[in-house]
Amino acid sequence: MMVNRSILLLGLSLIPAVAQTPPQRLYDHNIHSWIVYAGDHPVAGPWGLHLEAQLRRHDAGVQPQQLLLRPAVNYQLSPRVGLSAGYAYVTTHRYGEYPVQATFPEHRIYQQAILQHKAGCLEFLHRLRMEQRWLGQRILGTAGQQGDRTWRYQNRFRYMLRLVVPVKKGPWYFASSNELFLNYAPTHGARAFDQNRAFVGIGNVIGKETRVEAGYMQQTLLQRNARVLELNHTIQVAVFSRLPFVWNGRKEN
């Protein structure tokens, strides 16, 4: 009798757990367009400056999605290894079927390492980046009004693998990349997986220091509520530059 009663009590205790179903996953399909400028400008010896600006638009460019500004200091450790440390400012707007409550700012500092190598005609690039993020949010009052701004701190790790395939010896090339974003402690409620960006495109080298690249990127982004998964189809056009800065009319070597 004692055994049967224990089994019955155990079964009754499991009923709520079985009855609870995981929240239904919601999918949000969006069409975005990103315009990017990224410059790695030599200044003196191994030192340089990174200047980056991204204008990100939603609904095929009709509405704002994000604005990103990202300066940094570069140090070229060797021909194949580069180090950077910098700051980023991001403004995220409301967009999509499941938008954030309000437009919010974000401040970041970050550190990264870039490693490059070749295998025949194939060119590989590995980028590892650590980010410390401060995300702004408004406290909602009892009547739904937005009150004072608070800041939520969060850490994130990013790894990108990029492959470039030159087209013979001409100025054209094919490019593809995949970048994984992972949150790590303290996450303050965010899941480990943040997003993934898969890109494929074509580029053209203009002179020795500038190239233009255009392509398609699939951004898979898990919102903070872990229920909405954004599938963002993105057209990206980017200009990359390595023009050295000129001081007093002379290039720094």
Instruction: Specify the CATH architecture of the domain 25-247.
Output: Beta Barrel (2.40)
The per-residue pLDDT for range 123-171, each reduced to its tens digit, is 999 999 999 999 998 766 555 555 677 999 999 999 999 999 999 888 9
CA–CA gap between residue 117 and residue 129 (Å, rounded): 18
Q: pLDDT at residue 9 above 50?
A: no
pLDDT tens for each residue of 222-242? 998 899 999 999 999 999 999
Which amino acid is residue 188, in one-letter code?
Answer: H
Share of the chain above pLDDT 90, in %: 73
Dig out the tokens for 252 from the structure.
């720094």
Q: Does the pLDDT value for residue 253 go beyond 70? A: no
Q: Where are the domains of the chain?
A: 25-247
Q: How far is Cα 7 from Cα 13, in angstroms, rounded to an integer?
A: 10
Is the pLDDT assigned to residue 12 strictly greater than 80? no
What is the model's pLDDT at position 177? 98
Tokens of 56: 């990100």
Q: Could you report the per-residue pLDDT of 32-70, keeping only the tens digit for each? A: 999 999 999 999 999 999 999 999 999 988 999 999 999
Q: What pTM value is reported for the model? A: 0.85
DSSP letters, 30-68, are: EEEEEEEEEEEEEEETTEEEEEEEEEEEETTTTEEEEEE
